[in-house]
Amino acid sequence: MSSSLAARPVAGASATTATRLAQTPAQRSERLAFTFCRLGTIGLIAWLLTPPLFVLLAAIAAVVLYGRAVLMGVRESRCFLRRPALIMGTWAGIALIDAAWLLGLLDPARLWG
């Protein structure tokens, strides 16, 4: 009779902790990617108050982590865009625009009037 460690509850662990222990590697990767998706969204909302470098780093992390999750079989996310490929494309575009801005290839004064 074999039993999985993930299936057994841990003594003294809360329900949330037990759920985290029972997650597959793909679920853990998606959970981490969702964290960076939220961080990037907050950075976008507060773009004028935060350095553009933060948004670039969060966007790159979200793309890499969602890519990893997709390779492990994740097909849906908790992010508001839902589809990992759509999320990755959106954050890749944001990263490219942000990198161009940081490198001085885009002149914000010219873009906004």
Task: Give, in order, the Cα–Cα distances in Å from 7 to each of 3, 22, 51, 72.
Answer: 7, 6, 44, 20
Q: How many domains does the chain have?
A: 1
Tens of pLDDT, residue by residue over 19-71, are 666 788 889 888 888 888 888 888 777 776 666 788 888 899 999 999 999 99
85 conformational bin, left if phi > 0, alpha if psi -120 to 50, beta if neither:
alpha
The pTM of the whole model exceeds 0.85: no
Tens of pLDDT, residue by residue over 63-95, are 999 999 999 998 998 888 889 999 999 999 999
By residue range, what is the domain housing residue 78?
24-111
Q: In this structure, is residue 9 part of a structural domain?
A: no
Q: In this structure, is residue 36 part of a structural domain?
A: yes
